Structure 1
C-alpha cells in the first residue's frame, strides 16, 4: 500500500473490514460461542461507551483478570475489539487500551460460494428494520 494512502487510513477501517460474511463453519460456530458468552457481551457493551484497559474493564465488570483476558483474546481474534493504543504504567509495564469495532456479521447457512454482490442483493430485498439508507462496504442498502 502506498505510504500516502496508508497515512490516510491510519485508525480507519477498510469498508470490507466492517462486514464479515460467513457460511456455517467452524469460524461461525466460534463467533456464536463467543457472542453467547455473557462476559464477552458485557465487555463489548462497555467498550462501545469508552476505551478501557483490561484492568479497568475487570474492575468495572467485577470479573477476575484471567477470566477477562480469555474474553479479550477471543474478541480480538474474531475482530470485534482491537487495541486502540498502548500506554505505559509508572512501573514501565505495557498497558493496552481496547475499543469495540463496529462490524456487521452475516451468517449464511447452506451457501458455500456466495459472492458479496449476492449478499447485498439479499440485504436490499430483506432490509432489517432500522437499516434503511445504511452503507456497508460503500453500498447503500
Structure 2
C-alpha cells in the first residue's frame, strides 16, 4: 500500500574535512570519553557509510535503540555527529537522520 510520506529521501550532506580536538587539563576529556566507547565507535563506523536513523543504526550494530540514542546524544554534544534530515516511517512517524559531522578527527594531547 503506498504511503503519503517519503521514507528515505536523499540526504545532501557533506561533513567538514577535519576537526582538531586539543585535550588539556581543562577540556577535551568529554570527547575522549565519548569515542572510547565501543558502541560509539560502531555508530561512527556505521554512519561513515551513509546517514541513518537511530533504528537503522541499532539494527546495523545489533544493539537497542535506547543504547544508540544515548551514544548519539553524546556524539552530537561532542560535535562528531549531527542531525541532517527527517525521514518518515511507513506509518508516518518522524525519524531523525544522523550523519558524521567530520571526515577526520585529530586528537592532540597537551600538557
- Say whether the fold is shared (TM-score over 0.5): yes
With the length of structure 1 as denominator, give the TM-score of the two structures.
0.60
Report how far residue 75 of structure 1 moved. 0.7
Does the 8 Å CA contact 1:75/1:81 hold for their aligned counterparts? yes
1:104 is aligned to 2:105:
yes
Quick check: which one's helix share is greater?
Answer: 1
TM-score, normalising length: structure 2: 0.74
Task: Note if contact 1:83-1:99 (Cα within 8 Å) is conserved in structure 2.
Answer: yes
Q: Which has the higher contact order (CA 8 A, sep 6+)?
A: 2
Query: Structure 1, unaligned stretches of length 5 or more?
Result: 1-9, 111-141
User: How do residues 54-73 of structure 1 correspond to structure 2 at under 5 angstroms?
Assistant: 54-73=54-73
Deviation per CA, 1:43-102, whole angstroms, max 9, x where unpaired?
001111122110011111111111110100111111111112111224332211111231
Aligned residue pair count: 99
Higher deviation after alignment, 73-82 or 87-96: 87-96
Deviations 1:5-31 (A, max 9, x none): xxxxx955667xx32232414531111
